[in-house]
Chain A
Amino acid sequence: KQEVTQIPAALSVPEGENLVLNCSFTDSAIYNLQWFRQDPGKGLTSLLLIQSSQREQTSGRLNASLDKSSGRSTLYIAASQPGDSATYLCAVREGETSGSRLTFGEGTQLTVNP
């Protein structure tokens, strides 16, 4: 059974700092990996999607990498801002034969202090 782990569980940084959020998964046979942002009491907003054949994806100040063989992904946030404060969730999509299910990590709660 696929398991996804996110480290750290919580992170507090001063504004302007570059930071890295980590995600690891136990079964490397994934279809893709998706990073989400969740604000308190809200739904999930997709940030980046990396296909299993890709190594990284970038969107603005965000960069996500994928090392499928080692079961790891990182989300890099450059020049962090207070508006980046949220919970960040990593999710892996299993192979197509298993019904396209997503398995989530428990998230990293990020606080960026002004």
Chain B
Amino acid sequence: DGGITQSPKYLFRKEGQNVTLSCEQNLNHDAMYWYRQDPGQGLRLIYYSQIVNDFQKGDIAEGYSVSREKKESFPLTVTSAQKNPTAFYLCASSLLQGMRGYTFGSGTRLTVV
């Protein structure tokens, strides 16, 4: 079955350390997205990519970086510049056009220790 796989499920980061969250999809979707979810807040868009080798900043891109070298993969790096990285991170994908909606992964919970 097609879907989105996020790994790891739980991730712990030390102060000043960069960490990378993985997101892979086999749905042949064009677009991929990273969202951040904090308690009491809605999902906020970090970055999105509509095609390979191209991506755009979302609403809260500072302290994050992404790459899109393959259609299936959209890894997110949380850099040391992100001052409050503890959150639940969700990856999603969609077709750019068409009648279908978004598909989400199961999330990665990142905690700063």
Report A's interface with B, CB cutoff 8 A: 4, 32, 34, 36, 41-46, 49, 51, 89, 91, 93, 96, 99-102, 104-107
Contacts and interface: CB of A to CB of B under 8 A. Distances in A.
Given A41-B109, A44-B90, A106-B41, A93 B101 contact: yes
Contacts of A49: 99-101
A51 B98 CA distance: 10
B74 interface: no
B56 A99 contact: yes
A95 to B, nearest CB: 11
A99 to B, nearest CB: 6
B19 interface: no
Interface string B18-61: 00000000000001010100001111010010100000101000
A100 B94 contact: yes
6 nearest CB pairs, A to B: A44-B104, A49-B101, A43-B106, A106-B42, A34-B101, A104-B43
B42 A42 contact: no
B107 interface: yes
Contacts of A36: 104
Contacts of B101: 32, 34, 46, 49, 93
Nearest to B50: A99
Interface string B71-113: 0000000000000000010101010110111111111010000
A101 B45 contact: yes
B48 A43 contact: no
B75 to A, nearest CB: 17
Contacts of B56: 99
Between B40, B88, B102, the greatest number of chain A beta carbons within 10 A of the residue's beta carbon is seen for B102
B110 to A, nearest CB: 13
A48 to B, nearest CB: 9
